[in-house]
Structure 1
Amino acid sequence: MPLPFLDRDDEQRRLRRFMGGEDSRLAVLYGRRRCGKSTLVQRMCAESDVYALADERESALQIQALASEITRVVPAFDAARYPSWDALFSSLEARVERLNLVLDEFPYLVSSAPELPSVIQRHLDRPGPRRLRFILCGSSQRMMQGLALDRSAPLYGRAQEILRLTPLGPGWISEALEVYGAAAVEAWAVWGGVPRYWELAQRYASLQEAIRDLVLHRHGVLHDEPQGLLLDDMRSATQASTLLALVGAGCNRLSEIAARMGKPSGALTRPLANLIDLGYLRKEVPFGEDERSSKRTLYRIADPLMAFWFRFVQPARTLLERNLLEPVEARLSAAFPQHCAEAWEVLARESVPRLRIGGIGWGPASRWWGNGRGGPMEFDVVAESLDGESVLIGEAKWASRPDTGRWRADLRARAASAPFLRGRRLVCALWVKEGEESEEREDIVTPEMVMAALR
């Protein structure tokens, strides 16, 4: 059953404004696959608009297919044969007053007709009435970014809208899969915010069944998903896959990664930056340190499905290829709570700017680790108030048997000796899987509160 259309209010507003604008010329919509780009633009298209989904055929066949689609709104448009993209656009401009032309999976068109961006540029730059509004969509993030953001690209500086579609906020998973509280966190720890993953998972009675059939089984739709995502943006996924595998296995420092790969650290700076730009890796530095200059940078897998896959699937490929799922599921069952605990930490930090803990507005949160007055220490959540006068220090707990009294006392004792307080007011909070019965305190944050905030 298809999912209901969720969120994307800002993207819809911007596309609606563009598609109705008198001076609109070019919009670019891109992002990783399965995030709902095609669904979004199809939802926005009126009957009088033209939507065309490209494929990997030769350019002449693509032109013919587009001409056939245009015939739906321009009678007999496909009666003629168009020898080039320029001929098709010129003929179309001569026969319409205004038309929204959506070219989905635009990188496929460019791969068979590299001149196409330059052809579109010429039509955009021609004097006179602007009769075609081009909306270019694609899953190859690198190519789509290059089309609109690279100063040397023909279409640079010509787009009125450049929209990067990212995964949906974690809170929407509750509405999509009808899971709430801790179950919503567990689902997000596997599927992240990708609508297509949710649509696939909703067919199953349990999360475990969905994981087994979609991800673990060698014929599962998502069994090789990370490889497909990487190949959308690079000719070979070997180096990127190796980097993600090492980070997923716990090599989080650049020096460790370089040593395992037998390469100098400097040779890995750009590949790591590329994976960060694509949304698959993230940098982590202690609270208060500059990400660009910190000597204590850690790398983490940013995408939940990628993190799950490189933790549980990649190390077990041999067993899974032989359809020996039981030992893999046994390991998964034992390690899944820790996987969810790490995802819960991420959600805790993301929720901080959306929650007025202690009645105070907070900036973005980070982890912190280092030496305090009592020796080495670390905190899961640290943030500064928007007015700079208070510091929030928190812990994320994923235990089924809460002991908030002990956790609170331990946190306050350690937080009091944090070196970054510098005389500012201390506010402590706990993010817990389950609160103790009858406990309602402003320093306790539950999965229900986090998921409601992250929508």
Structure 2
Amino acid sequence: MIFVNMIFIDRERELESLRQRLNSPNFELIIIYGRRRIGKTTLILKATENTENSIYYLATEGNNLQKFKEISRKKFPEIEYIKEDWEALFNFLKDKVIIIDEFPYMIEEDKTIISTFQRIVDNILKNSKTKLVLLGSSISIMENALSYKSPLYGRRTASMKIKELKFKDLKYYNLSIEEAIKIYGFAGGVPFYLNKVRTPFYNWINEELKKPDSFIKDEIDFLLRYEFKDISTYKEILFAISLGKNTLGEIKDFVKVKGDISSYLKKLERIELISREVPVTEGIRSKRGRYIIVDNFTNFWFRFIYPNLSLIEEGKYEIDEKEYNEYLGLVFEKICREYIKDKYNVKKIGKQWWKDIEIDILALGDMKIAGECKWSENVNPVKILSNLEEKLKKLDISVDKYIIFARSFSNNEKIDKAEFIDIKNIRKWFFS
């Protein structure tokens, strides 16, 4: 089965907002950013597909001024006679829609470019009908460009941070619930990866890994190099976290970096590959925080690809279904949290733990909900519920409702205050 390109799933609000901005009679400086592969370029091109006076320029690592003029000349031949100068070119292009993709490349090439654009906005564009759209995949660089220290601060009229799709959005890909969960474990909610996948998933992934030019093998290197010059330490940190080394001390011991490792972790947090998780009932400064990989594809890559690169290069590696099912336990927890957030008014949700006691889900909101997630068949729900109640008692936490999730249960016993959610219930919710 080949997927249809569903890049605009859950993007209707962004698309409508962009179109309103682009049709405004006033000047607009729109900033669009988010990780690579998330669909930023397709979104803006869709929003401007019927706009005749628009220019789309994809920045590169060098000679951007010359290349920008050449791209503009193909749409507006008269620009050939304009001086090769940013201010002169923008003055000529006044009242047009100007899209510059991967703007961070221009910043890397010329550190003064943001100041130059500030002068252009203040002196040439601000009283015009020009629409200037800047896109970037380097979250750190784009957020710096938006900060109060940036020359462009206060000039933007709109900014959009494009994020991953939710698990439930995968229903538009015409998948069975089982295939959706497998694919979500690989692709997360990143449209680029979702549009690469074919079904059945196990056949596709193992065929893909045997291709000498598979995008999967060097995808993480490609993503990290966009943010960091030296990626080796960042890769080892991510590998450590994927292996369950979640505390600062455990990560440092594994990576064996001299000096403080906190700066590396903060940078990985900033680009949203990892986050510092704390028990739900505690604040962000809790000393019991631990690091997790946020992104499913990154988790998948360090679990299955990174340790097996040599075998993959030889064409001798296949992903084992049993091992992948074990990995899906973590993915299933994410799906269960999304289920609860979708069904209940939740203000805060996550794990709760103390020493050797851990609860998969604790949700705080209109009601307090505790849950356990078991990506297994024939789970005894009464036994899991009893264990959960015992753990809550030890932690001195009372809740209004219990929810036990599993692929299937050994019985369907009804218990007050408890809900047993199996794959059939998940399917019903998924397609609702």
TM-score, structure 1 as length reference:
0.85
Aligned partner of 2:224 in structure 1 is 230
CA 64–125 in structure 1, closer or farther in 2 if over 3 Å, else same:
closer
SS of equivalent to 2:287: coil
- How far residue 351 of structure 1 moved from its aligned partner, in angstroms, is 3.1
Q: Say whether residues 1:182 and 2:166 are aligned partners.
A: no
C-alpha spacing 1:113/1:417, structure 2 compared with 1 (3 Å) = closer
Residues 174-229 of structure 1 show CA distances to partners (whole Å, capped at 9, x for unaligned) of: 322x223233122111110010111111xx33111222244565521121111111
Matched with 2:365 is: 385
Tell me which amino acid in the other structure corresponds to 1:59.
N
Q: Secondary structure at the match of 1:47?
A: coil
Distance 1:437 1:427, change over 3 A: closer
Q: Deviations over 1:401-444 (max 9, x none)?
A: 233343334433443443133xxx53111122235687898712
Give me the whole-angstrom Cα distance separating, in 2, the residues matched to 1:219 and 1:348. Answer: 35
Flag the 1:362–1:113 CA change in 2: closer, same or farther, 3 A: closer
Q: Against the structure 1 CA distance between its residues 153 and 385, is the aligned structure 2 distance closer, same or farther, given a 3 Å change threshold?
A: closer
2:368 and 2:65 mapped to 1: Cα distance? 62
Pairwise CA distance, 1:109 = 3.0
SS at match of 2:167: coil
Residue 61 (1) aligns with residue 62 (2): no
- The question of 1:300 aligning with 2:297 is answered no
Q: Which residue of 2 aligns with 1:345?
A: 333
Distance in 2 of aligned mates of 1:154 and 1:252: 38
The alignment status of 1:221 with 2:215, answered yes or no, reads yes
Contact between 1:25 and 1:130, CA under 8 Å: does it hold in 2?
A: no
Distance 1:454 1:229, change over 3 A: farther
Aligned to 1:445: 421
Shift of 1:296: 1.3
Matches of 1:273 and 1:126, distance apart in 2:
38
Secondary structure, in 3 states, of the residue corresponding to 1:7?
A: coil
Q: Offset of 1:172 from its aligned partner?
A: 1.4
Q: How does 1:373-452 map to 2 (within 5 A)?
A: 376-386=356-366, 390-421=367-398, 425-434=399-408, 443-447=419-423, 452=429
Q: Give the gaps of 5 or more residues in structure 1.
A: none
Shift in CA distance, 99/445, structure 1 to aligned 2, threshold 3 Å:
farther
Say which SS state the counterpart of residue 363 (structure 1) adopts: strand
Which amino acid in 2 is paired with 1:183? E
Alpha-carbon distance change, 154 to 185 in structure 1, aligned in 2, over 3 angstroms: same
The residue number in structure 2 matching 1:87 is 88
Pair 1:250–1:410, CA change in 2 (3 A): closer
* Deviation (angstroms), 1:240: 1.1
Q: CA deviation at 1:162?
A: 1.4
Q: CA deviation at 1:51?
A: 2.3
| Aligned twin of 1:31 | 34
Match of 2:189 among 190, 193, 199: 193
Residue in structure 2 matched with residue 325 of structure 1 by the alignment: 317
Secondary structure of 2:93 counterpart: helix
1:295 to 1:450, Cα distance in 2 relative to 1, 3 A = farther
Q: How big is the shift at 1:342? A: 1.0
Q: Which residue of 2 aligns with 1:291?
A: 284
Q: In angstroms, what is the RMSD of aligned CA positions? A: 2.6
| TM-superposed deviation, 1:123 | 2.0
What corresponds to 2:261 in structure 1?
268
2:324 counterpart letter in structure 1: F
Identity %, equivalent residues: 23
What is the number of equivalent residue pairs in this alignment? 423
8 Å Cα contact 1:70-1:77 kept in structure 2: no
**Partners in 1 of 2:414 and 2:172 — Cα distance?**
25
- What letter corresponds to residue 300 of structure 2 in structure 1? F
C-alpha displacement of 1:42 = 0.4
Q: 1:344 is matched by which residue type in structure 2?
A: F
Instruction: Give the 3-state SS of the residue equivalent to 1:289 in structure 2.
Output: coil
Alpha-carbon distance in 1 for matches of 2:83, 2:165: 40
Q: How far apart, in 2, do the equivalents of 1:232 and 1:449 lie?
A: 41
Gaps of 5+ in 2: none
Equivalent position SS for 1:220:
coil
CA distance in 1, matches of 2:170, 2:210: 21
| In 2: Cα distance, 1:414 partner to 1:116 partner | 57
SS in 2 for 1:230: helix
SS of the residue aligned with 2:154?
A: coil
Q: Does 1:259 align with 2:257?
A: no
Equivalent position amino acid for 1:80 in 2: Y
